[in-house]
């Protein structure tokens, strides 16, 4: 047995302290950032998207870093109007025909009444000086809100990158990227 009967020297105490400090620094580096907000946007309905962009812009304006991850119907809501991209399968073309193209054609989650509710809401918002969805998206761009779109959803629905709204820095990524975004922050909202 090779056991030293001498008391540990000053170097052993310093090594122990250095190891404890290194462990603490590693633990602190893994703490969520209280100034980071992640929104998982699942809905493609006008009023819910307006709420998502309002919250995102408000958080960014208050100094938070904001990431929005769009998946399923939320991803489809980011389609711009116009013709579909070429080279799609029949099912992909059907998704393109059935999903609204452009933010002006998105339905309300309630009281849409085949578009009448949307028109009434737009009129009231204009009358009261409330930004429409396009204005909220522009505000998010100005506030530095980052937008990410689910790659699997785009693939499944046959939506091509070139069919999405113009949004500076928009990224197409997978769920692992969303998990990393959400884990790095202290707040995650589902809309």
The residue-averaged pLDDT of 123-127 equals 94
Q: What is the pTM of this model?
A: 0.82
Helix axes 46-61, 116-127, angle to 10 degrees: 30
pLDDT-based confidence at 21, cuts 50/70/90?
confident
Position 12 pLDDT exceeds 80: no
pLDDT of res. 143: 97
Q: Is the pLDDT assigned to residue 45 strictly greater than 70?
A: yes
Share of residues in the chain with pLDDT > 70 (%): 93
How confident is residue 2, by pLDDT bands cut at 50, 70 and 90? low
Mean pLDDT in residue range 120-140? 95
Question: What dotted CATH number matches 33-190?
Answer: 3.40.1260.10
Which has more confidence, 62 or 93?
62
pLDDT beyond 90 at 163? yes
pLDDT at 93: 87
What average pLDDT is seen over the chain?
89
């Amino acid at each position: 047995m090779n056991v030293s009967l001498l008391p540990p020297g000053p170097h052993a105490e310093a090594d122990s302290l250095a190891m404890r400090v290194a462990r603490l620094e590693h633990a602190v580096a893994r703490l969520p950032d209280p100034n980071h907000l992640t929104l998982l946007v699942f809905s493609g309905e006008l009023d819910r998207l307006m709420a998502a962009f309002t919250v995102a812009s408000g958080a960014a304006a208050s100094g938070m870093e904001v990431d929005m991850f769009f998946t399923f119907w939320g991803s489809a809501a980011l389609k711009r109007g116009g013709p579909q991209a070429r080279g799609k399968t029949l099912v992909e073309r059907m998704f393109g025909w059935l999903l609204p193209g452009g933010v002006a054609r998105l339905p309300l989650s309630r009281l849409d009444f085949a578009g009448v509710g949307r028109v009434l809401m737009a009129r009231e918002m204009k009358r009261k000086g409330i930004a429409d969805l396009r204005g909220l998206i522009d505000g998010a761009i100005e506030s530095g809100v980052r937008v990410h779109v689910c790659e699997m959803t785009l693939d499944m629905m046959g939506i091509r990158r070139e069919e999405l709204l113009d949004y500076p820095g928009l990224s197409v990524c997978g769920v692992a990227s969303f998990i990393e975004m959400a884990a790095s922050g202290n707040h995650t909202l589902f809309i």
